[in-house]
Amino acid sequence: MAIDTAPPPTRTGPRAQGRPGSGAGRAARWVRRAPLLPALIFTIVVTQLPFLATLVISTLRWNSLDPDNRGFAGVDNYVAVFSDPALRDSVVTTVVLTAVVVIVSLVLGLGLALLLDQKFRGRGAVRTMLIAPFLVVPVAAALLWKHALYNPDYGLLNGALNWLGNLFGFQAPQPEWISDMPLTAVIISLVWQWTPFMMLILLAGLQSRPMDVVEAASIDGAGAFQVFRYLTFPHLRQYLELGGLLGSIYVVQNFDAVFTITSGGLGTANLPYQIYQTFYQAHDYGQASAAGVVVVVGSIVIATFALRTVSSLFKNEGAR
């Protein structure tokens, strides 16, 4: 019996030409990716080149008030960032400001999302009004709180207290909101602005719940609190993480509210404002760049966790 030892026929059809290792496959991938190259180049030029320049400047001894004393400083600027008492205090203020704003915004956003998840007349108008604070320009929002609400002479808060005092016959206090509680004043303005953002994320999570499971639990006798505790809240866990991480990325870089409401005084100077002071008032470009690099690295760390949360969220949604 003869054994056929001839080699198997070679595939020359379209499947062979489009295999990942073939030249045609590589060419096809380049054809698909070529339209994205201008956007990639633009992103690199706009974001990465300035960061590299900042990284280089952070290693230099460069103060415009002392132009003759300029040279390579190594890590001295980074040591100054972590050893300067004002910068250390600004780091603590940044952490406190970010944590309180994100946590309070998440709690309020969850309550509003649960409210908007119910069906009632005028829900669309209520949703639009609740989203409106997030659409206000940050500087305009800070000016609104500083002058229209916090002002002790004509602000809405003291006006409301005065109206209540006249209504019930007592002398209403007229506090100096910004002077008496400066950090709280900044926090309240940021919570007002970021609560709609958290509400939108959590509302999207609520509307992606498997309603058949919720209805089955209700038929089995589970109350509203039990449904929320054992079904809704576990489902919203990743959305809460996503909202917290994205909120932290943006709030940790906030400059507008601190600069506009308190001008960084009374213990409200966060790290971005301290960088502004170091750069534009002390004119120490090297130390300001080092502090900026620290902020960018911290933001990248937070963004990495955010991207992982988004990826796991998409995987779980795709598995359903």
Instruction: Please name every residue paired with 63 in a beta bridge, in sequence order, or none if there are none.
Output: 284
Are 150 and 178 spatial neighbours (Cβ–Cβ below 8 Å)? yes
pTM for this prediction: 0.76
The answer to whether 244 touches 202, Cβ cutoff 8 Å, is: no
How do residues 95-142 score in pLDDT, each as one tens digit?
899 989 999 999 999 999 999 988 888 888 888 899 989 889 999 999
Q: What is the pLDDT of residues 196-235, one digit of tens each?
A: 999 999 998 888 887 777 778 777 777 778 888 888 888 8
Rounded Cα distance between 320 and 316, Å, is: 7
- Predicted confidence at residue 193, as pLDDT, reads 93
pLDDT, mean over the chain: 82
Sign of the torsion formed by the C-alpha atoms of 96, 98, 99 and 104: positive
| First-to-last C-alpha distance (Å) of the chain | 56
What is the rounded distance in angstroms from the CA atom of residue 275 to the CA atom of residue 288? 5
Say how far apart CA 96 and CA 199 lie, in whole Å: 22
Q: Which amino acid, one-letter code, is at 222? A: A
DSSP annotation of 229: I
- The closest of 210, 204, 219 to 310, measured between CA atoms, is 204
- Across 7-11, average pLDDT: 53
> Residue 72: in which H helix or E strand, if any?
strand 71-72
CB of 280 closer than 8 Å to CB of 264: no
Q: Predicted confidence band at 259 (pLDDT cuts at 50, 70, 90)?
A: very high
CA–CA distance, 19 with 17 (Å, rounded to integer): 6
Reply yes or no on whether the pLDDT at 158 is more than 80: yes
Query: Tens of pLDDT along 31-56?
Result: 777 787 888 788 888 878 888 888 88
Is 221 within 8 Å of 292 (Cβ atoms)?
no
Provide φ and ψ at 71, rounded to 5°: 175, -170
> What was the pLDDT predicted at 16?
46
pLDDT of residue 119: 84
Interhelix angle 233-251/285-319, nearest 10 degrees: 160
Return d(Cα 251, Cα 272) in angstroms, integer: 10
Q: Is the pLDDT of residue 8 over 70?
A: no
Instruction: State how far the Cα of 195 lies from the Cα of 317, in Å rounded to an integer.
Output: 25
Give yes or no for residue 281 having a pLDDT over 80.
no
